[in-house]
Amino acid sequence: MNVRTPESLLAAIDLGGTKIAGGLVDSEGVLLHRVQVPTPARGTEKEMTAAVTAVLDLLAGHPGWAAVRAVGIGSAGPVDIEAGTVSPVNIPSWRAFPLRAEVAAHPAVAGLPVVLGGDAVAMTAAEHWRGAARPYRDVLCLVVSTGVGAGLVIGGQLHTGRTGNAGHLGHITVDFEGRPCPCGSRGCLEGLASGTAIARTAAESGWRSPDGDTSANAVAASARSGDPLALAAFDAAARALAAGIAATATLVDLDAAVIGGGVAQAGDLLFAPLRRHFAGYAALPFAARTVLLPAELGTDAGLIGAAALARTA
Ligand SMILES: [Zn+2]
């Protein structure tokens, strides 16, 4: 890692269901130092809190820590940025957990501003600061992986909404008669377009994995070799995404939609049908001119995004 110590740094925490990463990021959005511990997702509240403390201890031990002027946290959601709490679906011991106050109380953090946001909103902030969304003022950013997360930049500013959940596109209805969603609604975009949904759509259509792997990655591999059922599963996901993005483009007059996450790494398998269906749903000229782009930032997007949140302090 880079050893120079600029005069002003941002500390970042990316809290997910499998790992808690920490980083020091400079004012240009360059990640200078990175640490990581596993998330004790099935552990007690105390074990979870200890893991966050461990990440902060590791970061605070870096000589650059003295230059840190704010701390940003991007967390698995739901989050409530008004209350400073998180209730990550995959971390049952944390419900309305006061994460912002917990981080602020760490001895090395005391006195620094601490900004909390959801992970998809952090990714949106990262893509707007350093990635594919950089040239645009009005952008929707999506993370399509096991779920579907999203965030909005409106008028050049990250738009979080009151609780930090604005742009939560995964849970808008794109199929009125669709199946019930764990969120309580039905026909949600996430239930049709996530990696989990792609794997299920393929399995239900009679697609059979050649080697027993039934993940969305396996469906993608099969689609690449021309399997019509695997291609149809990607087409169905792309269609649902297209409807959701077109609705958003019509609602807020987007310049661009940036799509990242594991499913987006399928590249043209997703983007070709996505662009085709989008042309059908975004019929009004102002919506049709929205450009659809792959995300540019990879595995460090979460940390760069958390730092981008800290910048707003
Ligand atoms: Zn839902």
CA of 168 to the centre of ligand 1 (A): 10
Residues of the chain with pLDDT under 50: none
CA of 131 to the centre of ligand 1 (A): 28
- Tens of pLDDT, residue by residue over 207-254, are 999 899 999 999 999 999 999 999 999 999 999 999 999 999 999 999
Ligand 1 (single-atom ion) residues, CB below 5 Å: 171, 181, 183, 185, 188
Put simply, whether the predicted model's pTM sits higher than 0.85 gets the answer yes
- Torsion angle defined by CA atoms of residues 236, 240, 246 and 248, in that order, rounded to the nearest 10 degrees: -160
Per-residue b/e over 159-197, b at no fewer than 16 CB within 10 Å?
ebeebbbbbbbbbbbbeeebeebeeeeebbbbbbbbbbb
What residue has token string 């995404």? 241
CA of 180 to the centre of ligand 1 (A): 8
CA of 190 to the centre of ligand 1 (A): 7
Distance from chain centroid for Cα 252: 20
For 311, the token pair is 């910048």
- Residue 169: per-residue pLDDT: 96
Specify whether the CB–CB gap between 49 and 102 falls below 8 A: yes
- Residue 3: per-residue pLDDT: 52
* Count, residues in the chain: 313
CA of 32 to the centre of ligand 1 (A): 37
- Residue 7: per-residue pLDDT: 80
CA distance 266 to 228: 16
- Tens of pLDDT, residue by residue over 99-138, are 999 999 999 999 999 999 999 999 999 999 999 999 999 9
Burial of 300 (0-12, 13-18, 19+ CB in 10 A): buried
For 281, the token pair is 């749903």
